[in-house]
Chain A
């Protein structure tokens, strides 16, 4: 808002587009508001850029409720959002600048808070009387969300949900702000490294006007000097502070996890309300520094490699999967940990889960999204047969399924219903193959294309038995998918020996074709 145009162009796939986005692009059911925190004028349905279901699960505390008495709701919203912006800024700067001084860190956080105030009065999501989630839009609808990512400059990123997903939007905006923050050191308008007040002004001028305008705020005759004056007023007035009674309140969401992973992160537990005993607590979710999720089931921790698979631990014991406690190194060293393979554990948890490598048929038209819940890249028509490349189970009360698939030239995630309804969304297909599938199926022949051949092992990754030569053709007897990267192993027989060969992995990029090719 306030005439923001962020300074770079960005996208994730294909090419940068030279196209003019129309005003109020995809602005469905617009509503008004006021120039005050949380309710800046102009907001449109968030569902044009992502799935409301995911926002309600991931960011419930960050949605301004219009139907609640206004000032009480504003105070609650601001208190929660303050802790999120604070933690996001701290996580970001510590990552970019390990060893950063506390002084610089505090000023950077202040700079991001002021930028969010200037751009949108901290307005992102809002639920109006129609119970739909609205997302703030400004600048004739071109600016998206709290940090006002502009669709004229960032169209492909907006299409992928960067404006819609608050965590990604914050990371995206901080990348741009940080660039100005650093470049200000070499500018004529900043006196010294520690001249943080000027650095904030310079970084925002570049954020608002482009990198070449980093010292615009020093020129009162610039056509856009009024923007810098308005920003200066935000810097000095800090009007958000009157709503924030507890500067140190624990964040309601794990923003660092969301910035890294995008979705499906458990919420932090307030140590003041939930003091941790010296011994691990049963039915308590722990997360490790490497992102594992663990449950203590005496006498050991039972863990999954990725927090997003934590629901699958419900197959081992009851616990609240939406609240976590960070696992200290001391605690981790006291008890052994059993790491489960996500594929077998999640299948054990939910028999309706369709495993990676298998094919599904869509039973209705389903949106294909760039990631779980975010921007729509197309619609997969009813009756399409697709190979499952990855999965995610969300929402313990419903068990909602998401599958990563490839449809034509696009790869993305589709929603496949919950435990009760999934049979109406997709079905497992065993009698026909997906037209595009990197993984072979049982009884299919493959050719080894890896130079030097592939080791034949007694079990996936196990004892070496022999080598299947390059160019050899073997029949797949069984497919095994393992670990967080969805590693592919085939059970084959070769020269009288029967064992497993590795054949690449599906994540983060498919490498299967560098190992084997399907030949029929």
Chain B
């Protein structure tokens, strides 16, 4: 048995252990990346009434979703929501330029990454990338993409998630990817194409188990299988 086969056998044995571990949501990071502790994110962002900055513009725009009386295009069923979303995204970009490290900006981004508007999500994600990697931001990003049927916003989020590998939040990343791999058709294909960077010796058994549960005819299955094989080769030296 050469080195490659020994490693594959080793992984198979590890698999059983880790399947059990994952059932307890307990994938442990390989190396601990220090992440900052913060207070949990507030459910709703609010600023003082006399705040006349771009922030209050954004919050006023957000109210447009409920009031439906802002002076925006309503020529078809979704034109109004599109218009609100585009304006919020523009304002978020404006705020991002003006107040790079402002904690209020981070709070806004945490809220708007959960928007159902892809333009808004993208603007929020760009903001979060400029802030330290903290678990509450990860939680918001995961909530934002978890049930998404938008392959691009999910794909754009993957490098952000990747930063949490090796941190205490790593299991949350794998759980999110687990959901996405069996989520929306095009999202699952896109995630599976990019899954290799998330496979490490800790997560390998988890993804092996995931593979067993998938439809072997699907592109997602084939991509995941391919990534697992590549990881095995990387571990064994080819």
- A residues contacting B by CB (< 8 A) are 3-5, 7-13, 15-16, 18, 92, 95-96, 139, 152-153, 156, 168, 171-172, 174-176, 178-179, 182, 208-213, 223-224, 227, 256-257, 259-261, 289-291, 450, 452-455, 463-464, 467, 484-485, 501-505, 507-509, 511, 514-515
Q: Cβ of A450: which chain B residues have Cβ within 8 Å of it?
A: 234, 237-238
CB distance from B224 to the nearest CB of A (A): 10
Q: List 20 A-B contacts (CB under 8 A).
A: A9-B153, A10-B149, A12-B151, A12-B190, A15-B122, A18-B86, A176-B149, A178-B184, A209-B77, A210-B81, A210-B116, A212-B65, A212-B81, A257-B217, A289-B217, A291-B217, A464-B2, A484-B222, A485-B226, A503-B238
Contact A8 B119 (CB under 8 A): no
Contact B76 A8 (CB under 8 A): no
Q: Which 8 A-B pairs have the closest CB atoms?
A: A9-B118, A502-B238, A5-B78, A175-B149, A11-B152, A175-B184, A209-B77, A464-B2
CB distance from A294 to the nearest CB of B (A): 15
CB distance from B80 to the nearest CB of A (A): 9
B139 within 8 A of A: no
B89 within 8 A of A: yes
Q: Cβ of B78: which chain A residues have Cβ within 8 Å of it?
A: 5, 7, 153, 208-210
Contact B238 A8 (CB under 8 A): no
Q: Which of A5, A257, A502, A507 contacts B82 (CB 8 A)?
A: A5
Contact B217 A179 (CB under 8 A): no
B137 within 8 A of A: no
Q: Which of B2, B82, B185, B196 contacts A153 (CB 8 A)?
A: B82
Interface residues of B in 73-118 (CB under 8 A from A): 74, 76-79, 81-82, 86, 89-90, 116-118
**Known pairs A9-B118, A12-B151, A175-B149; A501 contacts B238 (CB<8 A):** yes
- Separation of A504 and B229 alpha carbons in the complex (Å): 11
Contact A16 B122 (CB under 8 A): yes
- Separation of A211 and B114 alpha carbons in the complex (Å): 13
Q: Which of B77, B89, B238 contacts A210 (CB 8 A)?
A: B77
Q: What is the size category of the interface that chain B forms with chain A?
A: 35 or more
Contact B215 A16 (CB under 8 A): no
- Separation of A168 and B148 alpha carbons in the complex (Å): 17
**Known pairs A7-B78, A18-B86, A179-B147; A454 contacts B217 (CB<8 A):** no
Q: Cβ of B196: which chain A residues have Cβ within 8 Å of it?
A: 509, 511
B8 within 8 A of A: no
Interface residues of B in 186-238 (CB under 8 A from A): 186-187, 190, 192-194, 196, 215-219, 222-223, 226, 229-230, 233-234, 236-238
Contact B186 A172 (CB under 8 A): yes
Contact A208 B119 (CB under 8 A): no
Q: Which of A12, A178, A223 contacts B152 (CB 8 A)?
A: A12
Contact B237 A9 (CB under 8 A): no
Contact B118 A179 (CB under 8 A): no
Q: Cβ of B79: which chain A residues have Cβ within 8 Å of it?
A: 5
CB distance from B89 to the nearest CB of A (A): 6
Contact B238 A95 (CB under 8 A): no
Mostly, the B contact residues are helix
Q: Cβ of B118: which chain A residues have Cβ within 8 Å of it?
A: 8-10, 16
Q: Mark B49-81, 1 if CB is under 8 A from A, else 0.
A: 000000000000000010000000010111101
- Separation of A517 and B168 alpha carbons in the complex (Å): 34
- Separation of A174 and B183 alpha carbons in the complex (Å): 12
Closest Cβ neighbor of A260 among chain B residues: B219
- Separation of A3 and B77 alpha carbons in the complex (Å): 7
Contact B149 A179 (CB under 8 A): yes
- Separation of A22 and B150 alpha carbons in the complex (Å): 23
Closest Cβ neighbor of A182 among chain B residues: B147
**Known pairs A11-B152, A92-B185, A290-B217; A453 contacts B237 (CB<8 A):** yes
Q: Cβ of A178: which chain B residues have Cβ within 8 Å of it?
A: 149, 184
Closest Cβ neighbor of A291 among chain B residues: B217
Q: Which of B3, B74, B230 contacts A505 (CB 8 A)?
A: B230
Closest Cβ neighbor of A142 among chain B residues: B76
CB distance from B172 to the nearest CB of A (A): 22
Q: Cβ of B218: which chain A residues have Cβ within 8 Å of it?
A: 95, 260
Q: Cβ of A156: which chain B residues have Cβ within 8 Å of it?
A: 152
Q: Which of B90, B215, B219 contacts A18 (CB 8 A)?
A: B90
Q: Which of B77, B119, B222, B234 contacts A5 (CB 8 A)?
A: B77
CB distance from A325 to the nearest CB of B (A): 15
CB distance from B237 to the nearest CB of A (A): 4
CB distance from A123 to the nearest CB of B (A): 19
- Separation of A171 and B86 alpha carbons in the complex (Å): 26
- Separation of A291 and B236 alpha carbons in the complex (Å): 28
- Separation of A260 and B221 alpha carbons in the complex (Å): 10
- Separation of A439 and B89 alpha carbons in the complex (Å): 41
Contact A175 B82 (CB under 8 A): no
- Separation of A175 and B148 alpha carbons in the complex (Å): 9
Q: Which of A8, A139, A168, A261 contacts B149 (CB 8 A)?
A: A8
Contact B185 A455 (CB under 8 A): no
Q: Cβ of A12: which chain B residues have Cβ within 8 Å of it?
A: 151-152, 155, 190
- Separation of A211 and B216 alpha carbons in the complex (Å): 32
Q: Mark B131-151, 1 if CB is under 8 A from A, else 0.
A: 000000000000000011111
Closest Cβ neighbor of B216 among chain A residues: A290
CB distance from B76 to the nearest CB of A (A): 5
- Separation of A172 and B152 alpha carbons in the complex (Å): 13
- Separation of A3 and B203 alpha carbons in the complex (Å): 46
CB distance from B19 to the nearest CB of A (A): 18
Closest Cβ neighbor of B81 among chain A residues: A210
Contact A223 B74 (CB under 8 A): yes
Closest Cβ neighbor of B5 among chain A residues: A464
Q: Cβ of A179: which chain B residues have Cβ within 8 Å of it?
A: 147, 149, 184
Contact A508 B217 (CB under 8 A): no
**Known pairs A139-B76, A209-B78; A455 contacts B122 (CB<8 A):** no
**Known pairs A11-B152, A212-B81, A291-B217; A509 contacts B194 (CB<8 A):** yes
Contact A8 B3 (CB under 8 A): no
**Known pairs A172-B186, A502-B238; A256 contacts B150 (CB<8 A):** no
Contact B155 A208 (CB under 8 A): no
Q: Which of B185, B216, B222 contacts A95 (CB 8 A)?
A: B185
B4 within 8 A of A: yes
- Separation of A153 and B77 alpha carbons in the complex (Å): 13
